[in-house]
Amino acid sequence: MNKKSQIAIFVVLALIVLIVVGIFLYFYLQKNEPEQPRVEVSEELEPLQQFIEQCMNSLGREAVIKLGQHGGYINPNDPYLSGRIFVTSYDQKESDLAYLSRDPDSAIAYWYYSFSLQDCDNCLMMSQAPYIDEIERQIGIYVSENIYECLNDFEDFKSTLSITQSDYMHVEVTLRDNDIVLAGVYPLNITMLDTQQSMRDFYTEVDIPLMKYYLMALNITSNEYATGYLENLNIFLINSYSGLSSDMLPPLYSYSNNYDIIFWSQQSVMHKIDDLLNANIPLLQVPGTKNFKDIDGLSKYEENFVKFLNLGFLEGDLKNTEISFNYLSDGLYTKINPSNNEIIGPYQDVNDAGSVSLLPPRQVNTYEFFYDISYPVIVEIKDEYAPNEFYSFIFAIESNTKQNLKLKDYWNASLKPIYFEQQYFQRVFNDPLQGQKITDPATNKQYEYKVRPSDTLFCRNSQRISGDVQFRVLDAKTEQPLNNVIAKIGCGNYASCQLGQLKYNDTYKSVMFNNKLPICLNGYIQLDKQGYQTKKIPVTTEQGIDKNLGSAYIEPILAKNLKIRKYDVKRNVQYIAGNYIVSGYTLSNYSVPLGVNDTVILTLTRINSGALDMPFSKTVIVEGKENASIDLIPGRYEVKAQLIDNTGFIIYKECQEMCVNKNLLGMCTEYKKIPDKNIEITPALWGGIEFSGKMPFIVSRDDLVNDNIEFYVIRIPNPRCLDDMKEISMLKGFSSQHRFKLLPKFK
C-alpha cells in the first residue's frame, strides 16, 4: 500500500496547510498582476479575431465542464493532461478514483481517502484534489490541443484572406473570482489585397466561476478531515441501531451474565449498514443552500440526529446553489471484529473457581465490537451562476472508520509527518511537472516527466514523415475484412491522435491502412469498433522507412446464453464414541438448477498476456431461474462466483452443549444447550466457486462457436450449529479439488 501511495499523493493535513497558504499566495499574485487588455486590431481583421476567440471560449467552457465531471480533471485517464498517474481499479477501495459505473469515463477523483482500509496498518490518508495551477494547466493544454480542429484551417476566411498560421497556440489560463481568463499567443501572418498584417495575441473570458466551486469543494473536504462528519454519522447510526439482538447491529459495548448468547453474521451486518447509509447519507445538507430543508418540532433525539446531518461550515450567498451527498453502495467495505470468519459473537468468560469449589461457574458474555467501515460519497455542487445557466462540480470523498475511530485518530495517524513543498505555491503557466519523477504504481519504477507542448505537434500532418506504413484489419472469427474501424496512433503516454475510420478498399480488396505516420519509438496503433475488443498493435516508425505491419485480427465480443447450475456438498459423518464426527466432504454426483431464491454473482476477468492487451472483465448477476447472457472473447480467465441463498438458514437453538457445572473432581455434572434462541442468517453467502490465475478457465476461439455456456457453483451444506460456520472458508479448496467437474462447459 505504501508503495502505491507514493504517486501524486499528499498527507491530508499537509493539503489543508497548502490550501490555506496556496490560495492566499494565489490571490496575492493575482491581485498584483496587471490586467491584460484585449488587443485591438484593424476593422478588417475583427471577424477573424472574434472567430479565434470564440473557439478559445468554446473550448475553454468545454474543458471546465469536463473538469467538473471528474473532480477537477478533464480526463483522469490521460496522465499527461491530468499531470498524475492514478491507481485505477473498479474496486473502489483500491483506487485513486471513484467510479459511478464500469465505464472508465465515469471516474471521479477522490479528494480525501485511504488505500486498502481492510489490510492497512498505518492507514495513510491521501488526496487527489488538484491545485489551482494544475487546473489552469489542464485548461490551457486542452484549448491548445483542440484549437486547430476548431479553426478548421480557416476555411471560412480563405476567400478573402491568406493566412499562415503558427504550429501551435500557447494558452495561459487564470482562474479569477467570477470567471476564467484565457490569453492565447498564436502568431498569424495575414495577406489581404496584397497587404501584409499580423496577429498574435488573443483574449477571452469564460463566465463560469470555477474558483467559487473549487473553494467550496476544498471547504467540504477539509471539514471532513477536521471534524469527520461522515465518521461521526457512522458511529451515531451504530449506537442508534445496535443492541443485544440479532435483528440489530452488534453493539460497541455491552455484556450479559447468562447463557443466552447472541450471534450475527458479517453479511447480514453489511446489509444492515448498507441500508442505513442508503437512507441517511442523502440527508446530509448544508444550511443556506437551495435544497436545504429546515425541520421543526423535533424530539431531543431527533435534534441530535439533525446536528449530524446539517453541515454548517459554508458561508456566503448559497441561495442558488444545491449541494448533495450521494452514497455508492458498490464501494462499501465492512468488517466487524472480533469474529470467527462469518460469525460475530461475544467473548465468553466462564468464571470457574476450580475443582474444589462447590459454586457453579458464572458466565459473562462481553459484547465489545470494533467496526471497520469504508465507502465512497459523491458530492455534487450544482449552481445557477447566471439566469438559466447551470454548472456542476462533482468530487468524491471516502468515509473511513477504523476500529470505531476516525482514520486520522487511528494508529496515531494525526501525528504523521507533513510534507511541505514550496514549489506547490509557485504560479506557473509552463508545465509544472517538468523534470519531476513519476512513479509507476505497479512496478515502483520511476520515469522522468518530459515536457508536453501546449499543442500536440505530434498530430499535425507536417509531422507525418515516416515511410508508408501498411496494415490490414480482419475479423478474428471470420477472417474477413472488418469495415469502419476507428484507428489512432499513440506514442507511449506522450500523445495520441486519430488516424480516421478505416473502410473497405476496392483496390486492395481489404480494409487497409496505407499512409505516413509521425515518428515514434515503441508506439502503438489502437483499433476500435463497436462490438469488438479494442486491439493495440506495436509500431516503431522511422523517417522515410516503409513498414508492413501485416494483419491485425480483432476479436468480436460474442454474447453467449448463460446457465448456472449448482452442486451440493455433503458431509461424511461417522458416529464415534457417542459423537457425530465429520470425516470428509463429498460433491454430489449431479448438478441441479439454481433455486428461485438463489442469486449468483459471476465475474470473469481475462488475464492479460502482453503489455498492450486491453483489460476485459464481465460481471453477471443471475437471479434464480431467469435467463442470462455473458460476453466473451478468447483468453485465459480468472473466475469468481458467489452463491447467495436469499432465504438463508437458521442455526437452531440448543444445538450445542457447554458445561455449566462441575463436581469436586472437575467432571461436568450439568450442561446447557446453546444458543438460547435461533440464529437466522438471511441472506446467506453460502457457496460459489473460485479459479485463480494459476489454474485459469481457458476460452478458445473454437469454444465460442457454441451458443451456450454452463457454469457450476458449489452449495455448502447448511450449518448444523456454530462450529460448522467455518466450512465456507473451504470454498477455494473445494474448487481446486473438484476442478475438472466444476469447469464451465460450452454446449
Per-residue model confidence as pLDDT tens digits over 115-134: 766 666 656 778 899 999 89
Confidence bin at 381 (pLDDT 50/70/90): very high
In a domain, 263, yes or no: no
Confidence bin at 436 (pLDDT 50/70/90): low
CA atoms within 13 A on the CB side of 590: 2
Domain end: 497, 521, 554, which one? 554
Q: Return the pLDDT at 450.
A: 47
Residue 722 corresponds to which amino acid? Answer: L
Confidence bin at 447 (pLDDT 50/70/90): low
Q: Is the peptide bond before 696 cis (omega within 30 degrees of 0)?
A: no
In a domain, 281, yes or no: no
Do 529 and 462 fall within a single domain? yes
CA 320 – CA 1 distance, rounded (Å): 42
In a domain, 566, yes or no: yes
Do 692 and 622 fall within a single domain? yes
In a domain, 73, yes or no: no
In a domain, 337, yes or no: no
CA 54 – CA 59 distance, rounded (Å): 8
Helices 210-227 & 12-31 angle (0-180, nearest 10) = 150
Q: Measured at the alpha carbon of residue 8, what is the angle toward residues 72 and 606, in degrees to the nearest 5?
A: 85
CA 337 – CA 418 distance, rounded (Å): 31
Do 472 and 609 fall within a single domain? no
Domain end: 554, 573, 594, which one? 554
SS3 readout for 308-338: HHECCCCCCCCCCEEEEEEECHHHCEEEEEC
Lookup: cell for 108: 471521479
Do 581 and 705 fall within a single domain? yes
Do 569 and 542 fall within a single domain? no
Q: Residue 169, Cβ neighbours under 10 Å: how many?
A: 25
In a domain, 696, yes or no: yes
Do 470 and 549 fall within a single domain? yes
Exposed, middle or buried, 470 (CB in 10 Å: 0-12/13-18/19+)? Answer: middle
Lookup: cell for 132: 489551482
Percentage of the residues of the chain whose pLDDT score is greater than 90:
44
pTM (predicted TM-score): 0.63
In a domain, 540, yes or no: yes
What range does the domain containing 548 cover?
457-554
CA 362 – CA 348 distance, rounded (Å): 10
Q: How many domains does the chain have?
A: 2
Do 600 and 531 fall within a single domain? no
CA 7 – CA 128 distance, rounded (Å): 10
Do 539 and 643 fall within a single domain? no
Residue 696 corresponds to which amino acid? Answer: P
CA atoms within 13 A on the CB side of 157: 21
Do 594 and 549 fall within a single domain? no
Do 587 and 487 fall within a single domain? no
Domain end: 554, 574, 609, which one? 554
Examine the pLDDT at 166 and tell me if it is beyond 50.
yes
Phi and psi (nearest 5°) for 395?
Answer: -145, 170
CATH number reported for the structural domain that contains residue 465 in this entry: 2.60.40.10
- 3-class SS of residue 719: coil
In a domain, 516, yes or no: yes
- 3-class SS of residue 425: helix
Confidence bin at 420 (pLDDT 50/70/90): very low
Do 548 and 568 fall within a single domain? no
Do 638 and 711 fall within a single domain? yes
